[in-house]
Structure 1
Amino acid sequence: MLLLIDSYDSFTYNLRSLVEEATGETVLVIHNDQVPQHELQSYLGLFKGVIIGPGPGNPSVDGDVGVIPWLFTQDIPLLGICLGFQSLCLSQGCAIEELGDVKHGQVYKVTHNGDPLLDGIDESFESVRYHSLHVADPLADSLEKLAYTTEPDGTEVIMAVKHKTKPWYGVQYHPESICSTFGSTLVSNFLSLAGKYNESRSRTVYEDPGSVEMLLRKINIEPLLTPKLDKPLKLHQKLIPTSSSPVTICDLLFQRGKEFMLLNSASSPGNWSIIGLPSKASLRITHSTESNDKVSLQQHGESWEEDISSIWSFLSDTMSSHIVPKTSQFPFIGGFLGLFSYEEGHFVQLEKLPRVTSSSNVPDTKLVFIEECILMNNSTGETFITSLNSAEHIQEIEELLNFPTQATHLDEIHAEYINKPDKANYLSNFNKCQQLLRSGDSYELCLTVPTEIGIPANIHPWEIYKVLTVKNPSPYSAYFNFDDCVLLSSSPERFLSWDNETCELRPIKGTVKKTVDMTYERAKSILNTPKELGENLMIVDLIRHDLYQLLKKVSVTKLMSVEEYSTVYQLVSVIQGHFKGSAYSGIDILSQSLPPGSMTGAPKKRSVEILQELEVLRRGLYSGVCGYWSIENNADWSVIIRSMFHYKDDLKNTRDTNLWKIGAGGAITVLSDPEGEWEEMLTKLDSVLRIFQ
């Protein structure tokens, strides 16, 4: 067994997976401040060696490294990676300095001297660098340089060292990255060297199931969902003859005064559109992080509150009695439709958020349990009505649709005011991001800014949505009109989909605006640059980490591919996790991976904290996710971007005007240009603002 020390990095579980697959060893992961030093002392005998992983910050800052310096007083084999490598060198008296040219997500050639740690690795091999600090020459007398890389100006940067008398090794590069080579060979060599050292010193590694169990209690994540699969599926369905679009059908429902929720796959790669039809009998769930231990419920005209341990355990317990085996052809036959805000995710320091600008608690989770819906297959043109209750309900819905109508929409929406982001403030925050990237606190920061729009109160949200879906059709378009908030989405980005076998994430990083002279090939050449590829690579590695935290098998089926949308070209990757042999399910992945990494940066924890300090305001629904979770345990959630949202109790609403918000932003890296990032942010913002033009 090996111990892996995690310094709150977003690549740690990629490293654990790499080591376990390469060596067959079990790897236990703990945070660098999770187990007190005196307690960790008693556990070291369980491990053949310790891997000190990467992380944000500086090895000289106590709060960044926790127990790591203490490990260099122990007689145990150690392998330090990035921050761990720098900590090893610092412990021996080396100077740690800022790089002149920071490398985050960059692939470089590494050359080594043939030491046993690097046995079987090409003399010159490619690996990914994520570091703004480096170990300066000359090395301490106790250390030997094993490998280096060469900067464009010819400067050599140390990439690997070992201690001359102790079993301590370190590499600056990231062997666990998707674009690194020979990572498996490196960790296998370390384990071999550790074994030889332990044998030479008669260092016995003991097996103590009780001690292991105590450690596991500190670090285990318990599965959320325990479905009762003995419940038979009673699904009523009917194929109805219609050529109407989802918007046309919803327009008819709107005219008839019928409540609906729409997930509208208005362009490729979406295949299905889902129209959920809530009723008074539908369970409605509201959760606010302002009252984190309470959930508000509505059903049959009654409202009440319940105490909860977490919104995720509550939702899983609620869904467990509804889950049935997958037998239908549909993506959704009933279950939850709704959204989660950015603040519902991990690492947001709620106590540091400013006072809310609403007369009631801001909703962070809004879900409704749907039992009747209209499903439209955009590939075949087929439309179905389904019900979990009775065939009579299907007949009632069909009768409702048997009225001739044609969807109409305004050409544009009138706005009383549009308050766009302040450029000077944005550039100031951009510069602060650059300082934090260079100091090692983050590799990438998704800096965002809100735009406020005043829309006449007499314009119904449905009328706004109809214009939006015409002006900016998207694969993850959505219309949610709840009692306290409204979301109108034209998102191009899937966050997470799942069924019982696999889950899939499709992060987007890298955007080029479509113009008359912007061809696919030209966009491809712009997006295939170190800056854009580095942004996407970092998020791919982050998502792999999020999945590997719970799953053993993760695959990247598309890596940094250019996709075309109605208004932009974007750089997209596809990452899949596999549930076979795992006790976890999709809801575990969702609960552990929010907020979306593409909207935070990496490492996620430190990046979320930094962005909160810079942006000051709640992001709210922007940067959250919306979608569905069907009772057949398949789900699809998109990132809430290219979207408008409105809180009905917002204090800035007036009798005549409602405040709506649009968020926009982009990933800031050390290669980012301030004017370029400002323009990219405006491109994303304009994809929604075009409804006012």
Structure 2
Amino acid sequence: MADQQPHILLVDSYCSFAYNLAALCKKAIPHSVLHVIKNDTHTIRDLLPAIRQFSAIVVGPGPGSPDIPTDIGVVRDLWKVADENLVPTFGVCLGQQSLGIEYGATIHRLHTVKHGQVSVVQHTGTEFFAGLPDLKVVRYHSLHIKPHAGGDIEELAWSEDEENGRVVMGVRHITKPFWAVQYHPESVLTDEGGLKVLENFWTLAHAWNQTNRPSFTPPVEIILPQSHIWPRISQRYSAHEFNKSLGSVTYKTIQVPDISIIDLCEYLGVNDESKRFVFLDSAAYPGQHSILACLGDASSQFTHYVHENFVEITTGTLKVQQELSGKDIWTWLDEYRESRKVAGGDARVPFWGGFAGYLTYEAGFGALDIPVPRKSNHRENNHPDVNLVWVDRSIVVDTATSKIWVQSLLPEDEQWIRETAVHIAELPRASTIPNMPSADQVTVKFPDHDQYIEDIKRSKEYLFSGDSYELCLTGQTRICVPKEAVMPAWERYKLLRTVNAAPHAGYLRLHPTAFLSCSPERFLSYSRTPGAVCQLRPIKGTVRKLPHITREVAEEMLAGSRKEIAENLMIVDLIRHDLHNAVGERVSTKKFCGVEEYETLWQLVSVIEGSLSEGTSIEVDDSLGWEVLRRSLPPGSMTGAPKKRSVELLQGIEGRERGPYSGVFGYWCAGGGGDWSVTIRSCFLHDSEKGDGEEWTIGAGGAITALSDPDAEWEETKVKLNGVLRGFGASC
């Protein structure tokens, strides 16, 4: 049998770790061609004509139970093909469970579920465990199998759990070329039980093929409808001509010691509530660059609702609706930026101009193929899912050095730059912070306590049943401000900034939305071309700074917590999957669960980076960050894992849209870079909620795991709410 270009079929059961497994397969089986299908896109009759062209099959993990047909799909039939159609197959997690029950094993719930837990696995040292010591592996499961004594399934590996007893961790079929593991070889914390086990499987598969399929030669190409070859770089970039005629950035740099960013905003007209305003505020360490959009009537604003086929463009008083013409909103915006791309700005400045604004939680549903049902009057009280403005003029302030860049993308705009720089240099200190309102001036409508506790218990039942590993449950709090206590949104933001300064904060007034955020969490940043690098920095685990909370104490509370590490691990593995989906193989975890110091907090932070392979065309590289953003929303830290099933479950549990909360806000530079923060510790006001008074919305929640205590989760939610409520003089 020829050794070149083996074709491998990966069956994805809607797992948020599938592309991590794809990357591991490519590493274990060099030069292979990896085909990916979903478990419900093909019947076994569809697959049979192509199945014997594959050198091996890998059945990935996924949510649910192997005895539920809609959860397992075609996988159950793969184990039952006739002998002439046999192909060596390796199952992971749900794959092992499915193999087991098809050949007489029984399925059971663990007494204590293992989601994001590291365990020691012992094994027989045979088959794909040959030559390996005991392993440390990551487990994501609440179900497990018990093979029938003397049956067709032989146990090869096991874990001795204190809570669960002996749990089968690896098996083989005694006569057919089927092998499987219960744990996740693709996890970032799995050791030799990952790559080496896949390499051993390939050795076994290769040997089986030589003995049982002596005339088999891997084909040059396999045509399999409704599949794709991984890695898959988006094809949509070829839909528009790459812009080789770049515009230029004109700028002037000045140094203004102790510049007041608040005075600068007010000089630019933030107090005029009728005008749009965008301020991305690095109000605290480790934030560094604050960005102010200098918007005018000619600045175009783009709004879009995910279930509509058009984008609305507002320029001054003129509003037009432009059909997407078969494109998605992401492609349309990509082409718009491409036509206005620039070069020549100061490389030290992350933003030269371009798109700035926010994307809602629901804006990410398209990539997950999840519908957003809405009524015909949705525009009356729903925030747009995409709300961006194109920024031609901007001011960027380095908060660490007080260096300021006055910039323009407009041709022959030097006079505005010079005059603005002079005014900034001479700017008097004039801003004041309003008095903090008293708590009796507002009414706070919290989520119902008893219902939230029930929702937590309901979420945990989904964890026990295998439908999810983690669910980020949230609730909405409404702040009713009577007419006599209403203050301009900008004044409210100044209060919020005073009591809860944050590194990734923002004030956005993009009608119909007023958006105030003190977010501590960056979601995604990406550098300019060539060689764009995408970085995600998930935060799971926070301790507020107090006199007795030293770094050592914080590390013990965070890095020493099994629950906090498990939460962070699940999101790291999910983010790695999202990045592998967009960039291919070049994904690395630069930091895992490091304790970082912020102005008011200690936080447990991981850092994951991805980039395209060397030699990738500049056209693809230039839009990489935007594509990673599209494929990574909603943020995994705000959904749980697996993402698609978790989002669907949360829709049913929460019973409402989240809107801007749990989405992202930030910018995509006309020169190629971008930076987006997770929309948490934020509040929102829709124009429809203004009348005699105002009604602001705050979202808050937490990751529900099998280790969660409902009362503790409720208290954690209140702590998160307090950071924003203090800006209204309230607390909980």
Secondary structure of the 1:447 match is: strand
In structure 2, the CA distance between the partners of 1:261 and 1:432, relative to structure 1 (3 Å rule), is: same
Q: For residue 244 of structure 2, what is the aligned residue in structure 1?
A: 230
In structure 2, the CA distance between the partners of 1:247 and 1:580, relative to structure 1 (3 Å rule), is: farther
Task: Please show how residues 131-150 of structure 1 align to structure 2 within 5 Å.
Answer: 131-139=141-149, 141-150=151-160
Instruction: Please tell me the residue identity of whatever aligns with 2:589.
Output: V
Alignment counterpart, residue 534 of structure 1, candidates 549, 557, 566? 566
| C-alpha distance in 2 between matches for 1:261 and 1:140 | 69
Report the CA distance between 1:224 and its aligned residue.
Answer: 4.1
- Give structure 2 stretches of 5+ with no counterpart: 1-6
Report the CA distance between 1:314 and its aligned residue.
Answer: 0.8
| C-alpha distance in 2 between matches for 1:350 and 1:153 | 40
In structure 2, the CA distance between the partners of 1:26 and 1:349, relative to structure 1 (3 Å rule), is: closer
Preserved CA contact (<8 Å) 1:253 1:260:
no
Report the CA distance between 1:255 and its aligned residue.
Answer: 6.6
Preserved CA contact (<8 Å) 1:281 1:299:
yes
Preserved CA contact (<8 Å) 1:229 1:325:
no
Preserved CA contact (<8 Å) 1:267 1:475:
yes
In structure 2, the CA distance between the partners of 1:435 and 1:14, relative to structure 1 (3 Å rule), is: same
Q: For residue 440 of structure 1, what is the aligned residue in structure 2?
A: 466
Task: Please show how residues 153-232 of structure 1 align to structure 2 within 5 Å.
Answer: 153=163, 155-182=165-192, 183-202=194-213, 204-209=216-221, 211=223, 215-216=227-228, 222-225=234-237, 228-232=242-246
Task: Please show how residues 42-81 of structure 1 align to structure 2 within 5 Å.
Answer: 42-74=49-81, 75-81=86-92
Preserved CA contact (<8 Å) 1:227 1:323:
no
1:608 pairs with 2:647: yes
Secondary structure of the 1:383 match is: strand
1:648 pairs with 2:700: no
Instruction: Please tell me the residue identity of whatever aligns with 1:345.
Output: G
Report the CA distance between 1:21 and its aligned residue.
Answer: 1.2
| C-alpha distance in 2 between matches for 1:267 and 1:647 | 27
Alignment counterpart, residue 624 of structure 1, candidates 656, 663, 669? 663
Alignment counterpart, residue 39 of structure 1, candidates 42, 46, 56? 46
Q: For residue 534 of structure 2, what is the aligned residue in structure 1?
A: 503
Alignment counterpart, residue 9 of structure 1, candidates 15, 19, 23? 15
Report the CA distance between 1:515 and its aligned residue.
Answer: 3.5
Alignment counterpart, residue 510 of structure 2, candidates 446, 471, 482? 482
Preserved CA contact (<8 Å) 2:282 2:505:
yes
Preserved CA contact (<8 Å) 1:52 1:78:
yes
Q: For residue 351 of structure 2, what is the aligned residue in structure 1?
A: 332
| C-alpha distance in 1 between matches for 2:573 and 2:241 | 31
In structure 2, the CA distance between the partners of 1:411 and 1:574, relative to structure 1 (3 Å rule), is: farther
How big is each residue's C-alpha offset from its partner over 1:355-398, in whole Å with a ceiling of 9 and x where there is no partner? 87762553111000001011111222201211112102213434
| C-alpha distance in 2 between matches for 1:228 and 1:281 | 26
Instruction: Please tell me the residue identity of whatever aligns with 2:185.
Output: P
Q: For residue 253 of structure 1, what is the aligned residue in structure 2?
A: 268
Preserved CA contact (<8 Å) 1:354 1:617:
no
Alignment counterpart, residue 672 of structure 2, candidates 633, 636, 643? 633
Alignment counterpart, residue 303 of structure 1, candidates 284, 299, 319? 319
Alignment counterpart, residue 525 of structure 1, candidates 545, 556, 562? 556
In structure 2, the CA distance between the partners of 1:407 and 1:10, relative to structure 1 (3 Å rule), is: same
Q: For residue 3 of structure 2, what is the aligned residue in structure 1?
A: none
Preserved CA contact (<8 Å) 1:120 1:185:
no
| C-alpha distance in 1 between matches for 2:435 and 2:598 | 21
In structure 2, the CA distance between the partners of 1:218 and 1:34, relative to structure 1 (3 Å rule), is: farther
How big is each residue's C-alpha offset from its partner over 1:250-286, in whole Å with a ceiling of 9 and x where there is no partner? 1232377475311111112222111011112212100
Report the CA distance between 1:448 and its aligned residue.
Answer: 0.4
Secondary structure of the 1:2 match is: strand
Secondary structure of the 1:211 match is: coil
Q: For residue 286 of structure 2, what is the aligned residue in structure 1?
A: 269
Report the CA distance between 1:214 and its aligned residue.
Answer: 7.4
Alignment counterpart, residue 430 of structure 2, candidates 406, 416, 423? 406
How big is each residue's C-alpha offset from its partner over 1:81-117, in whole Å with a ceiling of 9 and x where there is no partner? 0000000001101100100110000000000101121
1:283 pairs with 2:300: yes
Instruction: Please tell me the residue identity of whatever aligns with 1:37.
Output: I
How big is each residue's C-alpha offset from its partner over 1:1-50, in whole Å with a ceiling of 9 and x where there is no partner? 21110000000000000110122122211110123322211221231110
* Percent pairwise identity: 39
Q: How much is the aligned-residue C-alpha RMSD, in angstroms?
A: 2.2
| C-alpha distance in 1 between matches for 2:372 and 2:344 | 42
How big is each residue's C-alpha offset from its partner over 1:462-510, in whole Å with a ceiling of 9 and x where there is no partner? 0011111111111101010012001111101111111232000011111
Task: Please show how residues 297-376 of structure 1 align to structure 2 within 5 Å.
Answer: 297-308=313-324, 309-325=327-343, 328-329=346-347, 330-346=349-365, 347=368, 349-352=370-373, 359=380, 362-376=383-397
Alignment counterpart, residue 93 of structure 2, candidates 82, 86, 107? 82
| C-alpha distance in 2 between matches for 1:363 and 1:288 | 5
Aligned residues: 688
1:292 pairs with 2:308: yes
Alignment counterpart, residue 94 of structure 1, candidates 90, 93, 105? 105
